[in-house]
Structure 1
């Protein structure tokens, strides 16, 4: 396999998560010839940089040093465009660091850094659930809520690199009042952000707000299936809020398809109930796009990072 890719070279993709780092090497057709996953170091920034360099060196050795055309890295959080410093809630050791400059200085190949949510969307737009659609929105529903937007297969990241951050839109006052919900602080520094209510952790929060004791979305879903009224009510509120959020995405971007990611994307019933919840917040004549599960799941981030490098270089 390695000899067949020698003429075109390889692209490396790394997905940085709070608990793991996944690395892949693939050819321009995205056929994976090397994969490695390690635990994310939380023992200091120097250990993080060393881990990335080791993963790249391991990929070189495993592929016979065919030649890497570029590396894409999917990072959680955002990079301040003025200072170049990273802000990451999931990997705190990166916060305040010049991650891009430090990796550029240490790695021997062209480097492209992107947001992990954007890389998920890019992966699903190429050979994934959104393949063949002119535009797509990838929406993550996990510990937080965010996403990315691709048009004709290319990622649109925006001036600040935050296009698709729908989770930090504010919960509308009329919905907060309808469901008697508190205004919650968000780690981003704002208050009332949608992700505090519509993410997987938000669903668990809604259940606790109604008197339940669930700590995870899976516990809420199990309790609702067992007939717990408070869990069923939490699900109904969550569906209404999520329907409004996605209706806003439709009105703003009008994507041809929405692909879900994160833990809630594994909840099959969501794909049958969510379209009507979105439609309830749209005016007559506007159609809800297909809402689909992801094809690559947890593997999408590294694949999308490799795609990011391929498109850049």
Structure 2
């Protein structure tokens, strides 16, 4: 059995797969935000829950925000900032008493779609995660393209292109710079944009629901979001000219997108 774990900013999702790819089990839990040890425990308990229920053990792979540095062997560039600087794969391997393989979540999405999804048979896939953060990854000929530093495709920390006067210099990003794409088109970015425009805090889901109901402020917020998303994607088309762009993450499920 293969056990897959998707570690997101707000949820951790688990899946158990048979050797032929059949889904045997699936569940999700809230992410212990800001709690590194709690995150390790939550994943350990989730894996053990699957194994108890199915009465078999499995290999474990985890999709994470950010990447594992080839130099320090610790997590870097994760919007779930409590992971940064931690030996996440090693700590999880110790907790589960087996080797655990970790990879960038957007790279996982790119390879999955290149294998048997929207990018099957295509040469270059650019995959985007629009969730708590904003990640990106690439697959070339069905294989991950990591780049020399392991950050190929990480468009979230490039500046929003063709920035308008009212957008400059952009919101402060946790990376230390301003105006990063992630601060605009992540789910968090959507919420912050609505708050700046209205003075009211809403969740991304509430904003989307209000836009469907015809609330003017929410509709305008989604209009701005779509404009910034398309500008950002257009920049990647100019650079990569991919065969397919795949959207993942919570915001990708918004109908109007």
What TM bracket, shorter-length normalisation?
A: 0.7 to 0.9
Does 1:191 find its partner at 2:181?
Answer: no
Equivalent pair of 1:74/1:115 in contact (CA under 8 Å): yes
Equivalent pair of 2:65/2:135 in contact (CA under 8 Å): no
The counterpart of 2:12, out of the listed 21, 41, 47, is 21
CA shift, 1:187, in A, is 1.0
* Alpha-carbon distance in structure 2 between the residues aligned to 1:42 and 1:175: 31
Q: Which residue of 1 aligns with 2:160?
A: 171
Q: Which residue of 1 aligns with 2:61?
A: 72
Equivalent pair of 2:69/2:150 in contact (CA under 8 Å): no
Q: Which moved more, 1:48-57 or 1:128-137?
A: 48-57
SS at match of 2:62: strand
**Does the C-alpha gap of structure 1 residues 225 and 82 become closer, same or farther in structure 2, counting only changes over 3 Å?**
same
* Alpha-carbon distance in structure 2 between the residues aligned to 1:132 and 1:233: 38
Q: Where do residues 34-183 of structure 1 align in structure 2 (5 Å cutoff)?
A: 34-41=25-32, 45-65=36-56, 68=58, 70-87=59-76, 88-90=78-80, 92=82, 94-172=83-161, 174-177=162-165, 179-183=166-170
Q: Which residue of 1 aligns with 2:192?
A: 205
Equivalent pair of 1:18/1:91 in contact (CA under 8 Å): no
TM-score (norm 1): 0.68
* Alpha-carbon distance in structure 2 between the residues aligned to 1:207 and 1:43: 24
* Alpha-carbon distance in structure 1 between the residues aligned to 2:201 and 2:35: 33
Unaligned runs of 5+ in 1: 1-9, 271-313
Q: Which residue of 1 aligns with 2:227?
A: 240
* Alpha-carbon distance in structure 1 between the residues aligned to 2:189 and 2:38: 33
SS at match of 1:112: strand
* Alpha-carbon distance in structure 1 between the residues aligned to 2:35 and 2:222: 39
SS at match of 1:72: strand
* Alpha-carbon distance in structure 1 between the residues aligned to 2:30 and 2:192: 28
Q: Which residue of 2 aligns with 1:288?
A: none
CA shift, 1:37, in A, is 3.8
The counterpart of 1:216, out of the listed 181, 203, 207, is 203
**Does the C-alpha gap of structure 1 residues 213 and 159 become closer, same or farther in structure 2, counting only changes over 3 Å?**
same
TM-score (norm 2): 0.81
SS at match of 1:184: coil
Equivalent pair of 1:17/1:91 in contact (CA under 8 Å): no
Equivalent pair of 1:25/1:35 in contact (CA under 8 Å): yes
Unaligned runs of 5+ in 2: none
Q: Which moved more, 1:113-122 or 1:204-213?
A: 204-213
Larger radius of gyration: 1
CA shift, 1:29, in A, is 3.2
CA shift, 1:245, in A, is 0.8
Q: Over aligned residues, Cα RMSD in angstroms? A: 3.1
* Alpha-carbon distance in structure 1 between the residues aligned to 2:33 and 2:130: 24
